[in-house]
Amino acid sequence: MSLSASDVKKIAHLARLGIDEQQIEHYAKDLSSMLDLMTQMGQTNTDGVVPMAHPLDQMQRLRDDVVSETDQRDHFQTIAPQTEAGLYLVPKVID
């Protein structure tokens, strides 16, 4: 797919990008090359290819889930403007 200079100007306007007039042809060539690559990748036969969640079969090391601080909810709620039944009350902002 080949992009024209007017296409690049429209894309730059929509993306709120300022580009130099001298660079428009360069951008048009680069963007056209990227779109051609996407077209080629879309035509690749992927039948029988299993989707992967991650390209590496590795497990993430996780730390033990242990309590590191004491419960201070009551202390924090004493300085809150409004609380009720252990919950913080906030003003309604959406009808």
Q: Is residue 34 part of a domain?
A: yes
Q: Is residue 23 part of a domain?
A: yes
Task: Provide the domain count of the chain.
Answer: 1
Residue 14 domain boundaries: 5-42
Q: Is residue 15 part of a domain?
A: yes
Q: What is the pLDDT of residue 37?
A: 95
Q: What is the pLDDT of residue 27?
A: 94
Q: What is the CATH number of the domain that holds 18?
A: 1.10.20
Q: What is the DSSP string of 21-64?
A: GGGHHHHHHHHHHHHHHHHHHHTS--TTPPP-S-SS--PPP---
Q: Is residue 86 part of a domain?
A: no
Tokens describing residue 55: 């390209």
Q: What is the pLDDT of residue 54?
A: 75
Rounded CA separation 23/4 (Å): 13
Residues of the chain under the 70 pLDDT cut: none
Q: What is the pLDDT of residue 4?
A: 92
pTM of the full structure: 0.51
Q: What is the pLDDT of residue 55?
A: 74
Q: What is the pLDDT of residue 58?
A: 75
Q: Is residue 85 part of a domain?
A: no
Q: Is residue 61 part of a domain?
A: no
